[in-house]
Amino acid sequence: MQIVIIGSGNVAYHMAKAFTMKSIPLAQIFGRNEKELSKISEELHIPYSTDHLEEADLYIICVSDNSVEEVSKIITKKDSLVAHTSGSLPKEALAGDYRKSSFYPLQTFSKSKALEYEKIPFFVEAEHEEDQKLLLALASQISEKVMESTYEKRKYIHLTAVFACNFVNHLFSRAKEISDSQEIPFDYFLPLIDETVQKIHEIEPKKAQTGPAVRNDIRILQLHEQLLEDESLEIYKTMNHSIQKMYEL
């Protein structure tokens, strides 16, 4: 099966690397950013192009959500299978006369960070049963965690990921602003962060909650509020209110 990956960003790089590490041949990686494509090509030994899209049986589009529809128009092979990797778009966002599908890897990707691809969950959706089976089998060559998913369910998967990853990372950034303001090395907090994340592998998050809000320690809550201002103060109040509401305090 001829497979082409379209894109040159973080997702495209890691998808190409995952396929290569699992000995799944790629015919080409295609995109606009020649500098990034060249780096991927050199590292993974995959042909690349910015102007000639190879014919393929499967095209996997790894671009931003805003670009999926426009990029999908460059594929003209009618008997091909085309998949996007978005968590928030329906397969119908693909704007072409071909078989449409979704091939969603649930992970945060950075080119500089190595990943264990077999641990990344993949969610697959296709128009036709045979394509569904093909994509499930393909994903199973990469990952130990593969399942079918409708668009309705995938929307909630992506929403959960935003809470569990994007929002949490933003709180890390806010926490670092506070530690930096007091010249406290942020890496001193990493063991706490690591233990917090590791704990929910064994304990349900709701049962693992600690801190002044769940203890209803008004004195500490008020003390902290006096140390904060602007957005950080609003975040602090909102988070504590949410915690106390969850635990009916």
Mean pLDDT of the chain: 97
197-206 pLDDT, tens digit each:
999 999 999 9
**In which band, very low, low, confident or very high, does the pLDDT at 185 lie, cut at 50, 70 and 90?**
very high
φ and ψ at residue 241, rounded to 5 degrees? -60, -40
Question: Residue 90 has what pLDDT?
Answer: 97
Residues 148, 151, 153, 159, Cα dihedral to 10°:
120
The continuous run of DSSP H or E covering 61 comes out as: strand 58-61
pLDDT, tens digit (0-9, with 9 covering 90-100), for 2-20: 999 999 999 999 999 999 9
Whole-angstrom CA distances from 68 to 7, 35, 73, 112, 171 are 10, 21, 9, 24, 29
What is the side-by-side order of every strand in the sheet holding 81-84? 48-49, 28-30, 3-6, 58-61, 81-84, 99-105, 122-126, 146-148
Q: What is the pLDDT of residue 82?
A: 98
**pLDDT for 30:** 98
pLDDT of residue 207: 97
| Position 123 confidence tier, pLDDT thresholds 50, 70, 90 | very high
Q: Which tens digits make up the pLDDT trace of 39-51?
A: 999 999 999 999 9
The three-class DSSP label of residue 127 is coil
Mean pLDDT throughout 91-109? 97
Report the pLDDT value the prediction gives residue 35, as an integer from 0 to 100: 97
